[in-house]
Structure 1
Amino acid sequence: MQHPEKSELPRQQVLGYSVQGRPIHLWQLTQGIPSLLLIGGVHGNEVEGYNLIEQYVTSGLWGSLAGRASLWVIPRLNPDGCAVGQRVNARGVDLNRNMPTQDWIQTPLEARYPPGSAPGSEPETQVLLACLEQIQPQLILSAHACEKNPCVNYNGPALELAEVMATHNGLPVTDDIGYPTPGSLGTWAGWERGIPTLTLEILRGTPLNQVWQEQAQALQALLEYVARLSSE
């Protein structure tokens, strides 16, 4: 007797659409407990982050998680920004300042972090919120890139998980990136809802093949660790 839920994986669906009408895709790669979510392309100019996530999808490394975890992936949350290499979405909003957090403010703390007209105002943010409600992840990892101070940033009860990654990629672990981030995913999911949330900050300008060499094992070790924890 066939098990269609297994034979159908991996599968891709369209979660919704960006400001300019580009599809925002969600992959389900494996099935099991717990539910894990990887996100790339929140900022369209951080190719090091979203390329890592896309390479991971095509690598097949995730096959070891089959039956042990449901692994979900949004490769490019901000496809409009990714298409032109800009941080913000097509309306000029920083999606990582647009989440409906308790600390959301309409006045940007810096010009490069415009939060939008209201919390959750952007279609990409609404797509992410609907996805989080649908899959109820027990881990969120969002891959970014930064101009200095690469790190594994954690929000919520995720110190141990950040340390697992750091063991393999050598990056420092921190719960404070040095400046306020009102409206961020880490605040919404990690601090306000207690969902272990990691933000992997890769150094901008790192060759993409080097990013893969330095980060793939760390990403795989993290996912294996969470899957193993849930089975104990």
Structure 2
Amino acid sequence: MLGGQAVVRCGPGLLLAAGAISLAACGVSGEGDWSSVRDRVRPGATPGEATVRRVVTLGRSVRGRPISAVEVGNPSAAQRVLVVGCVHGDEPAGAPVAEALAAGPGPARADLWVVPVLNPDGMAARTRGNARGVDLNRNFPAGWRPLDALGSVEYSGPGPLSEPESRSAVDLIRRIRPTVGIWFHQNMAVVDDSEGPRDVEQRFARDVGLPLRALTDYPGSITGWENTLVPGSAFVVELPDGALSARSVRRYADAVRHIADP
């Protein structure tokens, strides 16, 4: 059980709420269908409290796996926080952090959106790229250019947003316009302070015990594109190598909650 819900195992080491991955069974299909799969208001909630838990499908991967997002917290809040657990399929350690946030209590003063896995095909295959071998973190419009060739680990695809996973992320970001976006990667064990909200990056790094370092903003990166839409909103957290302990998962999830609901 996860947060009082049934869970299923989806790929190596990944647990997702059943409602978040069994979307086809709920009548949700196709790319970009924002039908609410589960929309719950907490009994006794008053205005300003965390009231909503909603699961939507953003789209489907190349191989048809659903890409799901969970909204928890206060949908009317000015603070909108986006957390994406896994972009590269061979960097899965952020997914349990995202799952903990999705299953836990929602923030009272923020609208929290969680995408446990943006690249489910890559996670299932344990590959950096998606099922077509595209590095999703080189496939976004900001500064996109052809990188490497098919078969290389940083292949940027035939054009910007050529991949359904990338288009799902763009659709979500355009809809919610996050004031803070946290994108988990591995395995450098640093918090990137090259382009996001400096005060938030500093607080997050302090809370989780990672150093701050300015990382390279690669052509076609997700955070680079998000920061063109909402300047100064998005940053990368490079987790350590390997799986996080349960204690570490809690620490990272708590650090996100501290940002969302200080």
TM-score (norm 1): 0.83
Q: 1:27-82 CA deviation, whole Å, 9 max, x = no partner?
A: 11112222111112211111211122112222x1x43x12x111111111111111
Unaligned runs of 5+ in 1: 226-232
What residue number does 1:45 align with?
Answer: 90
Bigger relative contact order, structure 1 or 2, given CA contacts below 8 A and separation 6+? 1
Q: Which has the higher helix share?
A: 1
What residue number does 1:77 align with?
Answer: 118
Query: Shift of residue 224 of structure 1?
Result: 2.3
Relative to structure 1, the CA distance from residue 174 to residue 5 in structure 2 (aligned partners, 3 Å threshold; closer, same or farther) is: same
The one-letter code of the counterpart of 1:107 is L
Q: 1:156-213 CA deviation, whole Å, 9 max, x = no partner?
A: 341111100111111111232xx45111112112266414112111111144325314
What residue number does 2:254 align with?
Answer: 217
In structure 1, C-alpha distance between the alignment counterparts of 2:228 and 2:52, rounded to whole Å: 32
Relative to structure 1, the CA distance from residue 213 to residue 72 in structure 2 (aligned partners, 3 Å threshold; closer, same or farther) is: closer
Q: What secondary structure is seen at the aligned counterpart in 2 of 1:54? A: helix
CA-atom RMSD in angstroms: 2.3
State the aligned residue count: 213
What residue number does 1:104 align with?
Answer: 144
Alignment of 1:133-212 (within 5 A): 133-146=174-187, 149-176=188-215, 179=216, 181-190=218-227, 193-212=230-249
What residue number does 2:54 align with?
Answer: 11
Contact 2:139/2:159 (<8 A) preserved: yes
The one-letter code of the counterpart of 1:29 is V
The one-letter code of the counterpart of 2:101 is Y
TM-score (norm 2): 0.74
What residue number does 1:27 align with?
Answer: 70
Contact 1:155/1:186 (<8 A) preserved: no
Contact 1:35/1:70 (<8 A) preserved: yes
The one-letter code of the counterpart of 1:78 is N
Query: Shift of residue 99 of structure 1?
Result: 0.7
Q: Percent identity?
A: 31
Match of 1:127 among 151, 165, 168: 168
What residue number does 1:91 align with?
Answer: 132
What residue number does 2:6 align with?
Answer: none
Following TM superposition, where does structure 1 have runs of at least 4 consecutive aligned residues deviating by more than 3 angstroms?
4-8, 154-157
Contact 2:208/2:255 (<8 A) preserved: yes
Q: What secondary structure is seen at the aligned counterpart in 2 of 1:119? A: coil
The one-letter code of the counterpart of 2:140 is M
